[in-house]
Amino acid sequence: MIRLFKHFFSGWFLSRKYFPEKVLSNIEVVIKDSEKRHNGEVVLAIEPSLPASFILSKKPIRERAIEIFSRLHVWDTENNSGILLYLNLADKALEIVADRGISSKIKDDFWRKIINNIQNEFSKSKFERGAILAISELTGILEENFPSDSKDKNELPDKPVIIE
């Protein structure tokens, strides 16, 4: 029940506190620069709080990240090379969901390592720094597995998405 109240009362306030427009713009530039270096698509989705129905169902946060991956069409890229970086502010939880083109090449323990590294920043409420660090690590793995070519196009928006 405490978690439900935490999510109910945190909402909009947390996204504006930790991700004001200037921070969102900074992260958008980092994503744009990242995507010039590979054929992947990186999407940052920030959800201040979970819907009550999701909390009451006691589903793991990973399931919510997969729902958002689908809703934002991160799976719908030519090379199946989309990655969702999902952040839930109320829980200070982070998930990475990679499309099949990437997940077939990268083992789950690599994603866990990135999450553990970034979680430290998020636990200190350093969300901008943590998001940029995560994007940097994702850029490295995408450069290695999906190098840039002249045909690459930007298939998904670069601006972080606030899930309201």
> Who's near 90: CB < 8 A, 6+ residues apart?
6, 7, 10, 11, 14, 48, 49, 50
- What per-residue confidence (pLDDT) applies to 11? 64
pLDDT digits (tens, 9 = 90+) for 115-157: 988 888 888 888 899 999 999 999 999 999 999 987 778 999 9
CA distance 163 to 15: 9
Q: What is the pLDDT of residue 15?
A: 75
pTM over 0.85: yes
Task: Report pLDDT for 7.
Answer: 57
What is the model's pLDDT at position 12? Answer: 62
| Assigned token pair, 122 | 């998020």
Go through the domains of the chain in sequence order and give each one's CATH number: 2-162 (3.10.310.50)
- The Cβ of residue 135 has, within 10 Å, a number of other Cβ atoms equal to 21
Q: With a cut of 70, which residues of the chain have pLDDT below it?
A: 1-14
DSSP secondary structure, 72-118, as one string: TTTT-STTS-EEEEEEETTTTEEEEEE-HHHHTTS-HHHHHHHHHHH
Helix 108-123 × helix 127-145 angle, to 10°: 160
